[in-house]
Structures are given as structure tokens and as C-alpha cells.
Structure 1
């Protein structure tokens, strides 16, 4: 597993914003506090946006929200959030995205990729089997998770392209 200390603090105000979800259909279980949104589902919370074909949301007794986003067939689910205090965005895609509102954590699972944009310019790209974006600690962990598929080793490598920091973007 690679720990990539990328300064990537999410917009702190997002934690206090309401969660908005749009979809073609909704099934809500009031007793278990579970909602399943299907068909072009979009979750928005402040600057955070998540998209997929299915979003399963639940809320615990303390009011924390937890979600799982699944993509359309042959696509990946999508995540994007503004970074605190600057004109940078983190975005990612995976076959499954899990959101933990209590821990303020996003997990991108299977065929995962995270990109950092400074303004509209793509700066850094990281890929792996599992990417965990810890909003509270400003740390990414990326795991290649080498697996055996039909007796053959597959995957197992983390890949990252990190652009040098421009002198004009650094603050004195």
C-alpha cells in the first residue's frame, strides 16, 4: 500500500451542508433509514458531487450519512470536491464509491483513479485498486492489491503522476 501525503483538504464547509440527491426513482425505508436512488443519480453536498446509476444512502441514530455509489454498466461512478482555501478540485472515478459522513472519508474501490486539478489544469493523477481519501487528515492511501485471477497475478501496482508545483502558485 502506498501512502501519498497529498495536501488535499476538502472544503470544510461541505460537512455542514445538506445532502441533495436527484434520481429517476427512489425507494425509502423509514424504519431502517435507508434510501435507494436509481437512474442517473446525483448526490450534491456543498462542493461535493457524486454520480452513478444507483446511490444507497443510510443515516445512523446520530444523523451521520453513509452512501454507496454504483456506476452505469461499463462506466465508473464519479466523485468531485473543491479543496479548502484555494482553486483546486479533487475528482475520482471507480466501480464503487463509498462515502462515510462520520469519518469524513471517501473510498474509491476497483479500477480507482483520483485526479487533482489546479483551476482547470490537470496536475496529478493516481490509480490503484483502492483509494481512500481521508478529508480530516489530508492523506490519501492507495493500494494496488495484487490479486490472483485464474491462477495468474494481476494488478498490484499503484501508479501516480505528480506535477511539480509551479512557483507562481505557491504562496510566500
Structure 2
């Protein structure tokens, strides 16, 4: 089974068929922002004022963020949207053709040690293949375990399932195509 590349985000093969581009794990991470404070002793970086993170094919845009790096090198990140906007990401996925993962939420959390990604509040994730939508998940909370390639959707931004709180949805496009019709008067073998 393919594994999602650890770091900030390398998200959700909704049907567990695509994983983030493996080569991205060995690329440098570049963070552009208006303001960034990094404490090399604690391993904490605080970014604010429009944050753009790139690593290989991965691109993340947020208003503010916090990245903690443990002494062992694991990273835990929290990215937040500004008022009226969302954290957005896009990354090329391994697999045949041009596959891309993209999505958005008001808050995104990633824990490199556990491989768990959480999209909180107005979350949406899509998998595109050759420019066409293949799969989509929408909900208040989307959690993805990149090690087990399993995901969960819940109807509240806290990850709880509460009656009357709304609905989550998954759209899975058909993988099979209808048979090609045979023209009238043709003989099929």
C-alpha cells in the first residue's frame, strides 16, 4: 500500500488510491509570510499575515500557522484561515496520469508522528485525475489517517457526531464506463 508522505499535509486519497507524491518528502520546505518567529531551541515557528508553504508539488495557503518540530524531527502543524477565507492546499499525487489532491477548511492540523490530518470547519477535499473530478468529501470535519489510508467525516467541526448538526457527504465517481453501443447492421464477433 502506498503511504502518504509525512509533513504538513499530504492529504486524503478519498478512495485510498492516490497518495501524495513521494518525492516531495525529500524536497526543501519554503515558507513565505509577512511575519515569522522561529525558536530553534523549542522547535516552534509562528507564522502570520498570509502564509504560503511549498514543498515539491505541495502548495498550502493560510492566514496564520504554527509548526512544532520535536527533538526527533517529527512535525506538528496547525494552519488557520483569515476571516472569511479558508486554508487551501494542492499537491500532486502518485499514480497513473495527472492526479492531484486539493482541498480547503477553516483550520487544518497535521501530526507527523501519528500521520493524522484533520480538516476542521467547512472542509472539502477532492481528487482530480487528468483535470476531472474523481472523488470528493465535504463535511464540517474530515480526518485522514495516512498510515492506514482511512478517513472519517463528521457533522461537527469538533469531530463529534451530533444529531441535527448537519450532514457530511462523499461523492465517488464511477470507475467503469458504459459499454460502447454497437452500430446497427454490424456483426459482433
Separation in 2, partners of 1:140, 1:158:
12
Name 1:170's counterpart in structure 2.
none
In the TM superposition, what is the alpha-carbon distance from 1:5 to its structure 2 partner? 4.3
Matches within 5 A, 1:51-130: 51-86=61-96, 87-130=98-141
Separation in 1, partners of 2:145, 2:26:
17
TM-score, normalised relative to structure 2: 0.75
Match of 1:43 among 53, 75, 81: 53
Matches within 5 A, 1:143-154: 143-144=154-155, 145-147=160-162, 153-154=164-165
- Deviation by residue 1:12-38 (Cα, 9 ceiling, x = unmatched): 222232221110111122331111111
Q: What SS does the aligned partner of 1:154 have? A: coil
Where in structure 1 are there 5+ consecutive unaligned residues?
Answer: 168-172
Q: What SS does the aligned partner of 1:63 have? A: coil
Separation in 2, partners of 1:45, 1:100:
17
Match of 1:6 among 16, 25, 31: 16
Indicate the structure (1 or 2) with the bigger Cα radius of gyration: 2
Confirm or deny that 1:22 pairs with 2:46: no
Separation in 2, partners of 1:122, 1:9:
16
In the TM superposition, what is the alpha-carbon distance from 1:135 to its structure 2 partner? 2.9
TM-score, normalised relative to structure 1: 0.81
Counterparts in 2 of 1:142 and 1:134: CA distance versus 1, 3 Å? same
In the TM superposition, what is the alpha-carbon distance from 1:138 to its structure 2 partner? 2.8
Query: Higher strand fraction: Structure 1 or Structure 2?
Result: 1
Where in structure 2 are there 5+ consecutive unaligned residues?
Answer: 1-13, 178-189
